[in-house]
Amino acid sequence: MHELSIAQSLLGIVLDEAQRHGVNKVTKVVVRIGALAGVVPSSLSFSFDLIKEGTKAAEAELVIEQEPAQGVCHACGAEIDMSSLVDQCPSCTSKDIEFLGGQELFVDHIEAE
Amino acid sequence: MAEIEVGRSILEANEKLAEQHRERFVASGVKVLNLISSPGAGKTSVLEQTLGRLRGRLSCAVIEGDVQTDEDAQRVAACGVPAVQIETRGACHLDGPMIGQALAVLDLDSLDLLIIENVGNLVCPVDFDLGEDMKVAVLSVAEGDDKPSKYPALFQQAGVLLVNKVDLLPYIDCDLERIHRTSAQLNPTQKAFDISCRTGEGLDEWIDWLVGWVKG
């Protein structure tokens, strides 16, 4: 995906929240990224570090919490963590799997002084 | 030190715009398709063959996305259908703001069907909601039968799969059954049509389904 434009959107939200709450220095940004969101965490960190300079988030630490992608096997009913969209059920090896989520990109919370 | 709960989607700006587009489409009673494929799979040829057969049955318009040139919009316009060209000048996918600009010059109330032909790319367009009702994936048999497995996000989200250039099957190694099996595993409710824009094979079935879907 496009980590730099995602980082720009992220920074926009962080600075908007900082302004709304009247804080001058953001110290931490915590985001939740689904395992199947197509985002490479190291690329996102790299891009965020590039663009945060000179803003209220210049010294903010970016914490990326990866959420596993979930699926359910229609053959045996097992709920499974999915690392790719074409997984086999680990219990019964069926490929009849319904994908339940794991593509989210969320700003959970920020910490500020 | 203050902890501030946020709970906002990072892509909220594009999501908000996509929802606005979606509401406009519903208000105008127009169904919208987002046509996605790699370069050269045959999206524009599919459009030409489809629009020709829809003349007199559905009122259509097209938004064309390309990095450069307006060749595709010209091809569509030659079919007698309004076409708006977006030249992205480097962007690898269409996004909400670009569609917004194109909608400014279209009379949505007069349309039954709007088809958005995305930039040729199996990866990036999938992640950017344009407000469409359905994504249509176009895959030509010359691209390899491993593509649904290699690019699962598109095939999982596409409500329709058009497998194009089937007239070439005698001349290339392509396991057509593998394409259908792997794509159907990703999206069990997907409708699939084997077509050839060159010979016309399969197009009637695609058109009949499309008319039924638009009017349904």
Q: What is the ipTM of this complex?
A: 0.86
Residues A22, A26, A28, A32, CA torsion sign: positive
User: Choosing among B10, B178, B185, B190, which should be mutated to test the A contact, i.e. which has the most A CBs within 10 A?
Assistant: B10
The residue among B129, B122, B119, B120 whose CA lies nearest residue B25 is: B129
A37–chain B nearest CA distance, Å: 9
Highest mean pLDDT, choosing among A78-82, A99-103, B206-210: B206-210
B203–chain A nearest CA distance, Å: 30
**Is B3 inside a domain boundary?**
no
* Tokens, residue B111: 């349309």
**Is B6 inside a domain boundary?**
no
- List, for residues A37-74, the tens digit of each pLDDT value: 888 999 999 999 999 999 999 999 999 999 888 889 99
pLDDT > 70 in chain B, percent? 100
Pick the CATH number of A3-68+101-112 from 3.40.50.970, 1.20.1080.10, 3.30.2320.50, 1.10.10.10: 3.30.2320.50
Question: Cβ distance B141 to B163 under 8 Å?
Answer: yes
Please check whether residue A74 touches B, CB under 8 A: no
| Confidence (pLDDT) at A13 | 97
The H or E element spanning position A63 is strand A61-67
> Does pLDDT of A85 surpass 80?
no
**Is B109 inside a domain boundary?**
yes
| Confidence (pLDDT) at A5 | 86
A10–chain B nearest CA distance, Å: 5
Paired sense of beta strands A79-82 and A69-73, if any: antiparallel
pTM of the model: 0.87
Residue B183: give its domain's CATH number.
3.40.50.300
| Confidence (pLDDT) at A1 | 60
For all residues of chain B together, what is the average pLDDT?
96
| Confidence (pLDDT) at A86 | 66
Average pLDDT score over residue span B179-184: 96
**Is B216 inside a domain boundary?**
no
**Is B4 inside a domain boundary?**
no
User: Domain extents for chain A?
Assistant: 3-68+101-112
- List, for residues B125-163, the tens digit of each pLDDT value: 998 999 999 999 999 999 999 999 999 999 999 999 999
Alpha-carbon gap, residue A105 to B10, rounded angstroms? 6
Interface of A with B in 40-59 (CB under 8 A): none
Residues whose CB falls within 8 Å of the CB of residue B76, separated by 6 or more in sequence, listed in order: B44, B47, B48, B51, B62, B64, B83
Domain count, chain B: 1
Question: Cβ distance B158 to B136 under 8 Å?
Answer: yes
More confident of the two residues B143 and A85: B143
**Is B1 inside a domain boundary?**
no
Identify the bridge partners of residue B84 per DSSP, sorted by sequence position: B63
Strands (E), B58-197: 60-66, 83-87, 113-117, 134-140, 158-164, 191-194
**Residue type at position B131:** G
Average pLDDT score over residue span B85-101: 92
| Confidence (pLDDT) at A83 | 74
**Is B8 inside a domain boundary?**
no
Interface of A with B in 1-40 (CB under 8 A): 1-2, 6, 9-10, 12-13, 17, 21, 23, 27, 31, 36, 38
